[in-house]
């Protein structure tokens, strides 16, 4: 058998040169991150051994260290034939101290709590569970990783441009000189990467390599002289920006403050003063000479157009801007179904991590399917299926830890209760001891309430949604009278008579269980009851008594009795949940239910789809609080609003939306073949009341994901803008099969900014695509 040839070792002088080059690269990248001489960065660059945990039997030592680029972690495998693995810090969602993951809780003992930590990745990638040799070392790893990830996320335009004072000879050439490490007036691949960092350009590696090869006419592996200028021109050339800038650059080829004010007011429809213009030039102009003369160059203009405040989402709406003092049922509430599931509902894993992810996305209503477990500990899983189980106690602890990281507003715990009285008592004890004073166990204020408290009054609080043994009023009587003592499931509450459910219902009737008084008493504002029609609900239902509707029943009501449903939801809460036949955890459109005023429209957060994109878009605004105030006409008990018939009323504010799809930048490949290049097309979709639903699409551009250009105009009629959503979707055109998803962005119609705007793009998981974008022109006019 032939021996495997070892790599030739470097001579001492070559080793010194390699080390010097490595240190220079590290210093450059540390400077960009604002972490020069930082001890946490040095710790990660040095690296160390950690115990990697996959199960109670699989625990192996691996060496982890940060690579020279300061954004890739390297892991050494001890297996001879196994390639060493890496992961990008861009892919990290969070780093958590302790045994917080399901894997660590199951596979380790409590005594190693302080030595454990987990790296949580974006999307569906599995956690990386690790154990350090000491508590101090674990803290060092967690703090260092969190700091580096935070610095990478906060690396703003202003921060980068402030680090590099551009001077004579033009700022671009100043950057080129800095990036040319060995001062040979040539640029290698790695030096070009440094250059792109310095000019604050986030370029996909594939596109950078493609442009490099295109410019390297001599095929030397280096760019020099005119090749470098050509590279920069190709990289930054945006004909559409040239035209817009040229229109307003009236002062010796530059924009003066007056020119800039003119652009902002005429094109962007923004109020702007000379002081605002001076501030923009001071902040975004990279050329020192131009800045000194109070002028904005084309490079500065491009930088400004990419800042968050200049993009398509109204930045005022990113913050909390709505009245949060209305009753709870006057809001749409971000809600999750089967929250414990990571995948499908037949055999997928259940995990506390699923609760963490939903809560961090701003979800305010989570579901817990509770069943009797061993050792008197209730468990959560999808009953009568092969989904894995988690402890109820662990889920409540995870919820307590992450409930208010994204939003301060109340979280509703929707209990699907299948437990015996004994284990219901355990549930009540766990919620009481873990959630403490944050758990609402009695009405706010004195006496029997007549309406819901507001999200503002309930900040930092938990509400229980479940069956209750008696009316809330009974708790104010001298002797609390007990009523119905049987628990119901969500399916029974929906009161549907589907044929295929009859057997299941008969089975559940046999197994009806008593309800524990301790658990019943915790249900204050969200008591589950059967729905027997709008008239019966109006006459006999108290404000705090709410029904759950399966999607089919809810959709039928929203179509056939829309105004009655809207009026019902002015006074009561409604929860909608997906049909049981959705075993793959697919979703339904939440839009028709929002149109009917339903507040708790629960979706499978673990499933990436257009319905979840729209849900994310709906709750993108108002500080990502998870609460969106319904329009005034959906909060009036006598409202005539009907989303289907659209009779005249305050809701009719007929607008014409004009959208020009201009261009896109650096679209990602949709498959891993090196030769694969996308053929992008753009769809503009409007969601809302039926009269507003519409979709228009551009032609496909062949083989160009770097800078495709369309310049196609679309027009939409929008009658009820308060309820409308706009989605920009980019697909890779395929003439023989379905188009493939490239990226999308969804936002409320009323949060659109007018003028020339960049649209950020999100991937299937709802995470930002860092270097990709869409460029559009938007105009909203009152229809004649």
Please tell me what DSSP assigns to residue 739: P
527 is in an annotated binding site: no
Tell whether 74 is in a known binding site: yes
Give Cβ neighbours of residue 518 (< 8 Å, ≥ 6 apart): 424, 425, 428, 429
Question: In terms of Cα–Cα distance, which of 538, 533, 527, 465 is closest to 495?
Answer: 533
Residue 54 assigned ligand-binding role: yes
Q: Is 294 annotated as a binding residue?
A: no
Q: Compute the C-alpha angle 204/207/213, nearest 5°.
A: 140
Report the Cα 422 to chain-centroid distance in Å. Answer: 39
Place of tokens 């995948």: 343
Contact 299, 602 (CB under 8 A): no
Q: Say if residue 63 carries a ligand binding annotation.
A: yes
Determine whether the annotation assigns residue 735 to a binding site. Answer: no
Q: Does 572 show up as a binding residue in the annotation?
A: no
Maximum alpha-carbon separation in the chain: 94
Of 657, 661, 647, 660, the closest CA to residue 689 belongs to 647
Helix, strand, coil tally for the chain in percent (to 5): 35, 20, 40
To the question of whether residue 511 is assigned a binding role by annotation, the answer is no
78 labeled binding residue:
yes
Read off the DSSP letter of residue 752.
Answer: B
Cα–Cα dist 390/188, whole Å = 53
**Cα-based distances in Å from 327 to 323, 407, 465, 565, 599:** 10, 18, 17, 18, 12
Confirm whether residue 446 is marked as ligand binding. no
171 carries a ligand binding annotation: no
Annotated binding-site residue? 58: yes
Q: Which residues contact 556 (CB under 8 A, 6 or more apart)?
A: none
- 498's tokens: 């589907």
Q: How far apart are CA 423 and CA 372, in angstroms?
A: 6
Q: How many CB atoms lie within 10 A of CB 178?
A: 17
Any binding-site annotation on 416?
yes
The response to whether 367 counts as a known ligand-binding position is yes
Q: With beta carbons less than 8 A apart as the criterion, state whether 582 and 346 touch.
A: no
**Does 400 carry a binding-site annotation?**
no
Please check if 61 is assigned to a binding site. Answer: yes
- Is 650 annotated in some ligand binding site? no
Locate 107 and state its tokens: 């596979």
Coil, strand or helix at 81 = coil
* 636 marked ligand binding residue: no
Residues 713, 779: Cα–Cα separation, whole Å: 11
The answer to whether the annotation marks 712 as part of a ligand binding site is: no
Annotation-wise, does 59 bind a ligand? yes
Q: Is 14 annotated as a binding residue?
A: no
64 annotated to a ligand binding site: yes
Q: Is 425 annotated as a binding residue?
A: no
Annotated binding residue 193 = no
Residue 337 falls in the annotated catalytic set: yes
**Any known ligand binding at 128?**
no
With 0-12 CB in 10 A as exposed, 13-18 as middle and 19+ as buried, what is 770?
Answer: middle
- Residue 9 marked ligand-binding: no
**Residue 56 assigned as binding residue:** yes
- Scored b (16 or more CB within 10 A) or e, 339-374 reads bbbbbbbeebbbbbbbbbbbbbbbbbbbbbbbbbbe
C-beta neighbour count of 291 within 10 angstroms: 19
The one catalytic residue among 382, 430, 568, 777 = 382
* 112 appears as a binding residue in the annotation: no
In whole angstroms, how far apart are CA 3 and each of 6, 82? Answer: 9, 17
Is position 548 annotated in a ligand binding site?
yes
**Collapsed DSSP state (helix, strand, coil) of residue 427:** helix
Rounded CA-CA distance 428/434 in Å is: 10
Is 204 labelled as part of a ligand binding site?
Answer: no
Task: Answer yes or no: is 323 a known binding residue.
Answer: no
- Contact, 642 vs 733, CB < 8 A? no
Q: Would the annotation count 361 as a binding residue? A: no
| Candidates 197, 330, 337, 758; catalytic one | 337
Residue environment code for 70-105, b if the CB has 16+ CB neighbours within 10 A, otherwise e: bbebebeeeeeeeeeeebebebbbbbbbbbbbbbbb
- For tokens 């307003």, name the residue: 248
Whether 430 sits among the annotated catalytic residues: the reply is: no
**Alpha-carbon dihedral 210, 216, 221, 227, rounded to 10 degrees:** -110
Is 734 annotated in a binding site? The answer is yes
DSSP reduced 3-state for 48: strand
Do residues 21 and 14 touch, judged by C-beta distance below 8 A? no
Cα–Cα distance for residue pair 64/49, rounded to 1 Å: 6
Which DSSP letter does residue 437 get?
G
The Cα 25–Cα 181 span in angstroms is 9
CA 640, chain centre distance (Å): 35
Q: Is 79 annotated as a binding residue?
A: yes
76 marked as part of a ligand binding site? yes
Residue numbers belonging to the annotated binding site: 52-79, 338, 367, 369, 416, 465, 467, 548, 575, 677, 679, 703, 732, 734
Catalytic sites, residue numbers: 337, 382
Residue numbers belonging to the annotated binding site for substrate: 52-79, 465, 467, 548, 575
Residue numbers belonging to the annotated binding site for Ca(2+): 338, 367, 369, 416, 677, 679, 703, 732, 734
């Amino acid at each position: 058998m032939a021996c495997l040839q070892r790599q030739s070792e470097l001579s001492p002088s070559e080793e010194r040169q390699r080390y010097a080059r490595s240190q220079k690269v590290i210093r450059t990248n540390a400077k960009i991150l604002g972490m020069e001489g930082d001890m946490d960065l040095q710790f990660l660059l040095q690296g160390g051994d950690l115990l990697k945990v996959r199960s109670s039997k699989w625990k192996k030592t691996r060496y982890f260290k940060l690579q020279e680029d300061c954004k890739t972690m390297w892991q050494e495998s001890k297996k001879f034939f196994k390639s060493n693995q890496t992961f990008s810090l861009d892919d990290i969602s969070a780093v958590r101290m302790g045994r917080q993951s399901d894997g660590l809780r199951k596979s380790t003992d409590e005594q190693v709590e302080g030595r454990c930590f987990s790296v949580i990745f974006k999307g569906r990638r599995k956690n990386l569970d690790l154990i350090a040799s000491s508590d101090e070392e674990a803290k060092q790893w967690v703090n260092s990783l969190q700091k580096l990830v935070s610095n990478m996320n906060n690396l703003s335009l202003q921060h980068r441009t402030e680090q590099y004072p551009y001077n004579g000879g033009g700022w671009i050439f100043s950057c080129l000189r800095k990036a040319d490490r060995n001062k040979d007036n040539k640029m290698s691949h790695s030096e070009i990467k440094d250059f792109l960092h310095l000019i604050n350009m986030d370029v996909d590696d594939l596109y950078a390599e493609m442009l490099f090869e295109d410019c390297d006419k001599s095929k030397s592996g280096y760019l020099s002289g005119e090749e470098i200028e050509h590279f920069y021109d190709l990289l930054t050339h945006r004909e559409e920006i040239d035209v817009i800038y040229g229109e307003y650059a009236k002062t010796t080829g530059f924009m003066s403050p007056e020119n800039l004010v003119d652009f902002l007011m005429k094109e962007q429809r923004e109020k702007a003063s000379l002081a605002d213009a001076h501030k923009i030039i001071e902040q975004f102009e990279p050329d020192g000479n131009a800045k000194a003369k109070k002028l904005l160059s084309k490079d500065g203009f491009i930088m400004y157009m990419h800042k968050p405040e200049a993009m398509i989402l109204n930045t005022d709406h990113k913050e909390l801007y709505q009245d949060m003092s209305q009753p709870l049922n006057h809001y749409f509430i971000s809600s999750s179904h089967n929250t414990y599931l990571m995948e499908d509902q037949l055999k997928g894993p259940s995990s506390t991590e699923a609760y963490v992810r939903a809560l961090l996305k701003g979800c305010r209503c989570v579901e817990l399917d509770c069943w009797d477990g061993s050792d008197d500990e209730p468990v959560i899983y999808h009953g009568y299926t092969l989904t894995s189980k988690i402890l109820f106690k662990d889920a409540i602890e995870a919820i307590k830890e992450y409930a208010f990281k994204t939003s301060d507003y109340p979280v509703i715990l929707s209990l699907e209760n299948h437990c015996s009285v004994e284990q219901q008592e355990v549930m009540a004890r766990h919620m009481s001891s873990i959630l403490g004073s944050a758990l609402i166990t009695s009405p706010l204020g004195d006496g029997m309430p007549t309406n819901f408290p507001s999200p503002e009054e309930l900040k930092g609080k938990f509400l229980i949604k479940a069956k209750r043994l008696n009316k809330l009023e009974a708790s104010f009587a001298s002797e609390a009278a007990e009523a119905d003592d049987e628990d119901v499931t969500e399916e029974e509450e929906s009161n549907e008579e589907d044929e295929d459910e009859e057997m299941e219902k008969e089975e559940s009737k046999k197994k009806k269980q008593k309800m524990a008084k301790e658990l019943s008493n915790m249900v204050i504002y969200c008591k589950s009851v059967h729905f027997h029609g709008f008239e019966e609900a109006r006459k006999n239902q108290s404000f705090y008594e709410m029904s759950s509707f399966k999607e089919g029943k809810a959709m039928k009501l929203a179509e056939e009795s829309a105004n009655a449903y809207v009026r019902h939801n002015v006074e009561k809460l409604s929860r909608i949940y997906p049909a049981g036949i959705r075993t793959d955890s697919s979703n339904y459109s939440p839009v028709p239910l929002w149109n009917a005023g339903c507040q708790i429209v629960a979706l499978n957060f673990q499933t990436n789809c257009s319905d979840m994109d729209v849900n994310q878009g709906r709750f993108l605004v108002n500080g990502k609080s998870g609460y969106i105030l319904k329009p005034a006409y959906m909060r009036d008990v006598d409202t005539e609003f009907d989303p289907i018939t659209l009779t005249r009323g305050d809701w009719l504010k007929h607008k014409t939306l004009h959208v020009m799809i201009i261009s896109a930048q650096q679209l990602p490949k949709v498959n891993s073949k090196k030769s694969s290049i996308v053929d992008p097309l753009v769809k503009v979709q409007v969601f809302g009341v039926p009269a507003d639903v519409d979709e228009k699409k551009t032609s496909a551009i062949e083989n160009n994901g770097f800078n495709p250009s369309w310049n196609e105009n679309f027009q939409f009629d929008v009658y009820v803008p308060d309820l409308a959503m706009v989605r920009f979707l980019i697909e890779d055109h395929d003439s023989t099969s379905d188009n493939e998803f490239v990226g999308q962005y969804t936002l409320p119609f009323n949060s659109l900014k007018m003028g020339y705007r960049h649209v950020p793009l999100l991937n299937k998981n709802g995470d930002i695509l860092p270097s990709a974008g869409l460029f559009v022109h938007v105009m909203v006019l009152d229809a004649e």
